[in-house]
Amino acid sequence: MASRLDVADPGSISATADTAVAELGGIDIWVNNAGVYPSTPILQLSDDDWDRVIRINLTGTFSGCREAARRMVHAGRGGVIINVSSIAGIRGRGPGVSHYVASKHGIVGITRQLALELAEARIRVLAIAPTIIVTPGVQATQEGTDLERTLSGPLGRAGRPDDVARVALFCASDLSLFMTGSTLLVDAGEMAR
């Protein structure tokens, strides 16, 4: 089943959560994965540009957490909320992405805070922090670049969406049953450099 939503619209997120409860009988796992990655140097960064990135990346994640948690608490059977941050949420990323870095740091922070707030309801909250992953969007912005060579980390290859999905699966499963508030790096060792 698919449901279209706009993460910049809390009402849209709430409606999608209601649809999940109605069609699937509840929400056990919720993943906040939407985000944008524009590049604008700080001296040219407008308030509107800043607000758009924060609204989509951070406020959208917050709204998703809140709406999923409301339904999980109401159902009374716990659950897992997984937030996709970035290694930019652990450190800076380079020029032109101050709004993106701020939003991803915020996701790491809200993950920690909500892990504390929701623990009593048996809701675990985890974050995943990938490096740049080879996706159609990345390929479109890097046309003519050997992404496999450019983006390969210490493991010797570029990251793929499945690399992140496997960590999300771990977070969603009972294999991570004693984890909450953590941010898991999916970076092929880039942060170890």
What is the per-residue DSSP string for 43-82? GG--HHHHHHHIIIIIIHHHHHHHHHHHHHHHHTS-EEEE
Residue 13, in any domain of the structure: no
37 catalytically annotated: no
Strands of the sheet containing 29-32, edge to edge, are 29-32, 79-84, 123-130, 183-186
Express each pLDDT in 1-56 by its tens digit: 888 999 999 999 999 999 999 999 999 999 999 999 899 999 999 999 999 999 99
CATH of the domain at 152: 3.40.50.720
What the block records as the tokens of 74 is 């109401």
Domain count for the chain: 1
Per-residue pLDDT averaged across 114-130, rounded?
98
Residue 178, in any domain of the structure: yes
**pTM surpassing 0.85?**
yes
Q: In terms of residue numbers, what domain contains 82?
A: 25-188
Residue 8, in any domain of the structure: no
Residue 151, in any domain of the structure: yes
Q: Which of these is catalytic: 32, 100, 134, 180? A: 100
Q: What is the pLDDT of residue 136?
A: 76
Residue 160, in any domain of the structure: yes
Q: What is the pLDDT of residue 93?
A: 81
Express each pLDDT in 135-157 by its tens digit: 777 767 767 677 676 777 788 88
Express each pLDDT in 53-108 by its tens digit: 999 999 999 999 999 999 999 999 999 999 999 999 999 888 899 999 999 999 99
> Which of 3 and 129 is assigned the larger pLDDT?
129
Residue 73, in any domain of the structure: yes
Q: Is the pLDDT at 182 greater than 80, yes or no?
A: yes
Residue 14, in any domain of the structure: no
